[in-house]
Structure 1
Amino acid sequence: MLYKKTPLHEAALYNRSNAVQWLLSKGADLESRDDDGWTPLIVAAANGHTQVVTMLLEKGADVTASDNAGKTALDYAYGDTATILRVHSGNVFISLLN
């Protein structure tokens, strides 16, 4: 492990969904943390990897987990990845136009 990154961190970083699926099937720790306190979910979200984010959430990754700076995956996410995290966390705001 480099800098306390697990194979799941690396698979999430490089958007290797097949590797993520395999690692999860072997019991990889969803909440493992690197030196910065990043979980695999934070890594995937920060890099915009929507499929990996979805896979991790479906396996029960903690959407509220924060890193050493107190930031969550949603703080780093953008685009569709941010939307997926908001929907999963129930943090969805709907505005109705009259």
Structure 2
Amino acid sequence: MAVFMQIRLPVTTGQYDALMARMRREGTDFFHGCLAHVAVPEPGGGMLVTDVWETEDDQQAFERRMLPIAAELGLASPANPPQVAKVHAFWLPGG
């Protein structure tokens, strides 16, 4: 079952871009199970990240792959864990 994940990251847009670039170098399998990803700069600083994952296992596996890279880049840890909820409906226009 698909899951919705949302988290506030204490990073700048530049730090977010560096993290994404580093993860992309790992290859497309790094993001296995991710159906959608949106990152929005917050007015007070930081980034609000929202994903839809095929399964909660996919989301958790990604988190385990991503955390060491974030630490390697010296990024601060989020104040709170991600909010995760089961998806009732998911669709993309035209799909």
TM-score (norm 1): 0.26
Structure number with greater CO (CA < 8 Å, separation at least 6) is 2
TM-score (norm 2): 0.27
Relative to total residues, which structure has the larger helix share, 1 or 2? Answer: 1
